[in-house]
Amino acid sequence: MSHPDMQPSWIDAPHRCASLGRFRLESGEYIDDLLMSHVVHGDLDDRSRPIVLGVCAIGSTHHRLDFLIGAGRAFDPARVTVIVADALGNGLSSSPSNSATQGGSSFPRFTIRDMVNSQKALLDHLNIDALDAVAGASMGGMQALQWGVSYPRFMKKLVALVPMAKTTAWSQAVNQAGRRALETSGDWRAWLAIMHVLAMRTPERFEEDAARAGGTHAWLDKRAAWFRTQRLDPLDWIWQSHAYDAHDVGTTPGFEGDTARALASIEAHTLIGVPALDLYNPVEEGVRAAQQIGNATLLRVPSTSGHMMASEADAASAAQLNAEIASFMGYSRESAS
């Protein structure tokens, strides 16, 4: 996947790629030559500054958290350095679509813990031995919680928006429907109807979006045209969705499948944000994780946008999240307004 077309709200930071050699996966298989795509906002050479790692959602790139980065936002590059890492399988870091030696279906399956471990390898490559925080939304929020379990003393804080600690049967069924739309017809429009309407939005939010677009079919046509500019490879998304389905922090080595005990092991102060309703990652999963982490704050955002609450697509929620995260990180609310 080449870099998707720039969008007006995205930050045009220099795109970097680290070649990290042979990388062992949880399965015992290897990625022949791990490539870790990433961007840096701020001054990485100034190690007196706090460093935040941003991690991205399923099917997205390092631009996924741009709504939280910038002057006056939660992560202001004038005061903190932000490294945003592209996840395995997103077409920029090592993926089925871009591997020179393991392309297509020969690319090994990977897990969310493999994503986290590849990000740790990137930080080691950059000589970073501690973080102020790890932040992410959706699959990024799931990675953030996994960071807290896998590397409990590596960061001070976690920001996990619309996360799950263990993928629900509901979420697995949603992903399976998305996979079938791609595998049987290769039809992005059908996939969009499943993933970007039924999963990502609430009925109330889609009613508004469809009305602005001129109707349901007009919205789907416009969204499909926009999505083509993102150049996502179907197999990349399918491979990431399998990692999504299999996730459970409780299967981290040492926890014998005990999700609650794994969450209780998190030492970082954790902020978990959830909307009123989420038809992809059920709200109850975020609430349960906040209850089981010893030092956690649950933020309920009164959004009717569903899973999209944690994105630039909901301006009011984005403003609240920037203020709340800035406060959580120790910044003044005024600086994030």
- Indicate which residue of 93, 118, 138, 317 is catalytic: 138
Kindly report the number of other CB atoms within 10 A of residue 99's CB atom: 17
Tokens of 79: 């005061």
Question: Which of 304, 184, 171 is CA-nearest to residue 246?
Answer: 171
Annotation says 3 is catalytic: no
**51-55 β-sheet, strand order:** 15-19, 35-41, 81-85, 51-55, 131-137, 155-161, 269-274, 296-300
Annotation says 63 is catalytic: no
Angle at 241 between CA 272 and CA 22, to 5 degrees: 100
Q: Please, how many CA atoms are within 13 Å of residue 27, restricted to the half-sphere of its CB?
A: 12
Angle at 286 between CA 281 and CA 289, to 5 degrees: 135
Contact in structure between 181 and 190 (CB atoms under 8 Å): yes
Q: What is the dihedral sign for C-alpha 164, 170, 176, 177?
A: negative
Annotation says 41 is catalytic: no
Element (H, E) at 272: strand 269-274
- Indicate which residue of 278, 303, 311, 317 is catalytic: 278
- Indicate which residue of 63, 307, 311, 317 is catalytic: 307
Which amino acids are annotated catalytic? 138, 278, 307
